[in-house]
Structure formats: C-alpha cells, structure tokens
Amino acid sequence: MARVEFRNVRKQFDDQNKQTFTAVAGSDFVINDKEFVVFVGPSGCGKTTSLRMIAGLEQQTSGDIVIGERIVNNLHPKDRDIAMVFQDYALYPHMTIRENLSFGLKNLKKPKAYIEQKVQEAASILGLDDMLERKPRELSGGQRQRVALGRAIVRDPQVFLFDEPLSNLDAKLRIQMRVELGELHKRLGATIVYVTHDQVEAMTLGERIVVMNKGVIQQVASPTELYANPRNMFVAGFIGSPAMNFIDARVEEERIRIDGAEFVLSQDAAEGLKSYNGREIILGIRPEHIYGEDFAPGVSTEHQMQAHIKVVEHLGSENLVYFRIGSRTVTAKVHPETKAYSNLSKQFIFDLNKARYFDPATEERIDW
Amino acid sequence: MTTIAPNRVRSSAGRLWREYGWAYLFILAPVLLFLVFTLYPVVSALIMSFQQYNIMNSTWIGFDNYERLFQDATFWKSMRNTVIFTVCTVPVNIIITFVLSYLIYQMKTKWQTFFKATLYLPAVASGVTISIVWLAIFDPTNVGLLNRFLEWFGLDPVIWLGQSKTALFSLILMNWLGSHGAGIILYLASMGGVPKSLYEAADIDHASGWTKFTRITWPLLKPTTLYLLVTGVITSFQVFISVYMMTQGGPNFATTTIAYLIYQTAFQFYEFGLASAQSFVLAFLIILVSVIQFKYFSSDVEY
C-alpha cells in the first residue's frame, strides 16, 4: 500500500466556446498509507476530476501527483498500480464474472493457478462464489457492485479508487454496502480514495474527509472535526443533515443581538468577537443544539427566544421544527416529547456553547 | 372524490366501432397494401411454381419445375456464382466497413461528419448509375480507368468484363469498392454506444490497444456485425442490377447469378412456373443461411 500526495495540482478544461474552466484549483494534500479518505462536495466541485487524475485518466494541467515514492505525472493508468471502481461499475458485459475478475491478471500474464486462487479469494470475500459463471446482466445492482469491488481486490493494488460506487443502489442496499466497504477496508488495510456527493457516506466511511467546492479544497479533517469545527460556512452547511442553521446577528459589547433578542456571550466568545463589536456576524448553530423550553435536560436555559412554529416534521425518534428568525428559516431537531405544532408560539433554548460564528464577508469561521 | 358514472349498455359492435373504429381504419391501408403487393404475389408464385404457367390456361405439374431446375446445369452454375460472390464480398465488405468506421471514430466530430456524409453518398445514387460509372472504369480499351492504371505499371490492358476468368472478379471488385456508408453509420453508432468507462477500466486493467480491440470493441460490436452479415448475405444472394447492367450474365454464364437467372427464365424465356420455383429455392436458401448465422453468431450483449 502507499501514500498519495497532490502538490499544487491544477486542472483546467477548455469548453466548446474555448472558455477555460478550472475544475481543480491548486490542490495540496497528503493521503497517508492505509488511510480511507473521502472526497465530498456538490456536483462539479472537482472531486471526481481529482480521483481521475490520481488514476491517470485525466492529465493535470500543472503540479505533481505522487503515489508511493514515485511522481506519476506521465505514467499510464496501468503503470500507476491502482485499481478503480467506477460509478457505473464498468463491468465487461460480454464476459462472465470469472472473466471480469481475471481480466486484469491475465493481461499481467500471471500464472493460471495464481489467477484462479485470487479470483476464488475475492469471490469468497464478496460472496460471489455461486455467480462466477454468470454474466453481469444476470446479477442485481448490489451483486454487480461486488464484482466491481472484486475486480479491484484481485489486483492487490497500492491504492484503491472509488468513484461514487454506491450512487446507483437503492437506499437500503447503500447502507448495507457502506458497512461492507468499511469492513473491507479494515480487512485489506488498503489506501482508499473514495468520491461521493453524499455527506452521510463521507461521514460514515472516511477516516478523513476532503470537502471541495468549485475546484477548491475547503477543509481536510476527520468527520468529527469537520462537524464540530467547520472552517467556513460552506463546510458547516454541507456537512450534517439537517444542515447547520445560519442566523444573522450583531455583536454589541459582550452580547449578541438576534432579531430583537439579546444573548450574553461567554467570556471566551466575548473576547473572540471583540473586533466585531458593532458589526454583523453570522451565528451558526446545529439543529440539535436548539431545544424546546419544555424538554431541554441538562442545558442552560440562559439563551432563550420566542419563535412562531411554521411546520413540524415527526420522524419518530425526533421531531424537526421549522420557524423563522429574521429572514432565515431555522430548523430545530428536538426530542419527540417536546410539545410542538404548526402556528404555536414557543420558547426555544439555544446552546450557544456549541455555536460557531462566521464573518459574513469572507464566510470564514471566526476563531479565537 | 370522483364518481364513475355507470356505462350505458349498448351493442358491443357499436361500442367497438366507437372505441377502435379510426384505429382499424388507419391499420386497414397498410394491411391492404401488404395483402395486394406482398402476400398475394408470394402465394401466387408458390402456386405457379407447381404449374406449367400460361396466362390463359395453367396446368398443375406438381414438383416437375423443381426437378427440372435441379437437373439444370445453368442453375447450378448460377448457384456457384452467387455463393462465390457472397463469400468473396460479404466478409471483405464487413472488414472494410469496420476498419473505416474505426478510423473515422478516432477523428474529431467535424471530420467524422464529413467522412460519414462522403462515404454514404454512393448509397443515395442508383445502382444503374453506379454500374454505368463502373462500365467506364472497366472499359476493355486503354481508355478504361483500370487499364490506364495497369498501363502505368507497364501491364497489358485486360478485358475485365468480357472474359470468363475476370468477369465475376470484376463484379466482386466493384462491390468491394462500392458503398459502405450504411454499415459505417451503424458501426459508428454502436461504437459510440460502448461506455467509455469500459475502456478506462481496461486501461487500468493493463489491457494493450490490441487487447482492448479484440476483447472489448469487437465483441461488443457483434450485434451490429451480425446484422451487417445477415443483411449483406441476403443482398448479395439477390445481386442483380450490376449483372444486368454490365455483363448480362456472361460471358458463358460466368456472371449469371440466381437472381439474374430468375429474371432470364421469367422475362426472356417466359417460363414463369420454373422462375417461381427458382425464386422459392433462393428464398429457402436465404432463410436457411440467415438461421445458421443467427444460431452461430447471435450475441446477448447488454450494456
């Protein structure tokens, strides 16, 4: 297995009108040996392009890509010692599953016995033993997905690349395969680079997550770090479901004013926001850090404000309550025993110790 | 909530007419055309093939026509010519079409469009026109384009269509260099339908260019190849225009094909019964060969 490094890697495309479009704008990161790293971001953010550049299916415009100890900029995909699982699986439709699994090894001119052993190993890991003589069209989506994984496993590559491999599966199967992928990573101890637009997939699978937007890396961190300390409003809004609430606020001495209500800041926060005194800021608070005043066990009731409930969604284990503060809709994820229904005016408690503050101009988190 | 009013019960024929009357009327036109111009002639020909046909008074003679044609040396000669023509033209045409398509597929879109249009052009021209052009090319004097070509290399002019040993080959050559446009369009469409990710997966799987061609491109284009093979065989079994225009089946029956023989039997010798029998033998042969092709070449690729 090996590490992967991007050194100021840039990728530009020319569109039909000869306009230059920057897909990846100067990426720098290191993926450690045996690490499971997930690239996540909305469509067109440059995550798949980054993956394809590692694979050698796209040539970077500038910068260096390192796999192991080698700079692989000019190496053909086959010489990079990587294996890739494609979004559409890319199984050869006219070949049996056995032929699909052994295709790469045959091209490498490996001995027959070795190929057979590797195919059997992969088939038994992935539960494909009974399907080796079938064609891909005779398999279900989940089984095809496993064959695509198997094709990567038999090669024992230095790096596994996954391009949105679960996006064609239904929700239930996706969760099942997610668990299996996590187990597979532990079993193989492989370096895995995984691309997805699904932040839940990213959070559950990734040891570290690379969040991208418009070709720029926004933050590289562990799932818990990303969730707790997003670097900017994009990351804060993208990671977590329902998304973090952003509320317009104004710093006044050691207090912040939100839509008529006034909250006293903690000493740390007051100190940190000193330079913003008299200015607008954005308060970011996750839905689970807002409570109904009738069900907030162990939470300080210091920061409360009245709000008029618009809609309540009952999810069984929790309720999502929507109300407005100023021009923004705010979501609270409250305990199901919290009394909440449409058009009810209710006191909500804000746990400001868990809140984050953002500069409205730069959208960066205000640190202290 | 919506309520459904109970249907008023009327005669079922009237209801059917109201619901489907126009549909039947529209279907009627093509069905009538089929009955008059396809089914009726086929059935008449089948009956005729068992008759000593006379426009006023035909007599039933059973299998006599079939016996006659199987004992006819010209029939076997025309059969041999047709098979040689088919065996020599169809596979070569498929290879030419495939190679041209593969080359065009690598080009940029505007060049693809140019070559597709250019190579399709002969398909728009009539077979008669093309035959006249080829008559000029095969002209036996040194005015002929092909003989001019030979002259550059110091070779003697050849009487391409006028001698037994070169006449059939000349027709085959003309077919090789004829229209491949339709096949190219089909192959290009099929090539475009092969997912790019298969080639990318193959790149990562250490496949060489040749392996990609033999293990991915060629097998995935098998359905198109089968289609071209079957239609190509059917067309070449029925080759007629070039024979009629250029050699009239000669010299010494060297280019008489089954289709031309049927024409001669029917419209030069007025033996419609025998010609009908020949037609049914040809039809049976085409069906047999097509079934064999489907059996051995059919593929169940799905992607």
Structural domain containing residue A200: 4-238
Is residue A14 included in any domain, yes or no?
yes
The answer to whether A137 and B302 have CB atoms below 8 angstroms apart is yes
pLDDT tens-place string over residues A26-74: 999 999 999 999 999 999 899 999 999 999 999 999 999 999 989 999 9
User: Which residue of chain B comes nearest to A152, CA vs CA?
Assistant: B205
CA distance A83 to A195: 14
DSSP structural state of residue A238: H
Q: Average pLDDT in the A182-205 region?
A: 91
Asked if the Cβ–Cβ distance from B206 to A84 is below 8 Å, we say no
Q: Which residues of chain B make contact with A81, given a CB cutoff of 8 A? A: none
* Among candidate residues B55, B276, B89, the one with its CA nearest the CA of residue B176: B89
Residues of chain B below pLDDT 50: 1-6, 303
The answer to whether A100 and A86 have CB atoms below 8 angstroms apart is no
Interface confidence (ipTM) of the complex: 0.84
Number of domains in chain A: 2
pLDDT tens-place string over residues A86-138: 999 999 999 999 999 999 999 999 999 999 999 999 998 888 899 999 999 99
The residues, ordered by sequence, that sit 6+ positions from A274 with a Cβ below 8 Å of its Cβ are none
Instruction: For chain B, give the longest Cα–Cα distance.
Output: 93
Q: Average pLDDT in the A290-300 region?
A: 85
CA distance A205 to chain B (A): 24
Last residue of a domain, one of A238, A255, A274: A238
Interface membership of B214 toward A (CB under 8 Å): no
pLDDT value at residue B301: 55
* Share of residues in chain A with pLDDT > 70 (%): 100
pLDDT tens-place string over residues A208-220: 999 999 999 999 9
Structural domain containing residue B59: 12-65
CA distance A201 to chain B (A): 23
**Rg, C-alpha atoms of chain B:** 26
pTM greater than the 0.95 cutoff: no
pLDDT value at residue A176: 85
Shared domain for B25 and B120, answered yes or no, is no
Angle between helical axes of B73-105 and B181-193 (0-180°, round to 10): 50
pLDDT value at residue B300: 60
Shared domain for A229 and A101, answered yes or no, is yes
Shared domain for B290 and B215, answered yes or no, is yes
Shared domain for A179 and A229, answered yes or no, is yes
CA distance A336 to A295: 9
CATH number of the domain encompassing residue A347: 2.40.50.140
pLDDT tens-place string over residues B172-227: 999 998 878 899 999 999 999 999 999 999 999 999 999 999 999 999 998 999 99
pLDDT value at residue A243: 93
The mean pLDDT value of chain A amounts to 92
Interface subset of B 51-90, CB within 8 angstroms of A: none
CATH number of the domain encompassing residue B120: 1.10.3720.10
Interface membership of B110 toward A (CB under 8 Å): no
pLDDT tens-place string over residues A303-359: 889 999 999 999 999 999 999 988 889 999 999 989 989 999 999 999 998 999 999
Q: Average pLDDT in the A272-290 region?
A: 93
pLDDT value at residue B302: 52
Is residue B7 included in any domain, yes or no?
no
Question: A225 or B2: which carries more pLDDT confidence?
Answer: A225
pLDDT value at residue B2: 46
pLDDT value at residue A253: 85
CA distance B297 to chain A (A): 13
Number of domains in chain B: 2
Last residue of a domain, one of A207, A238, A269: A238
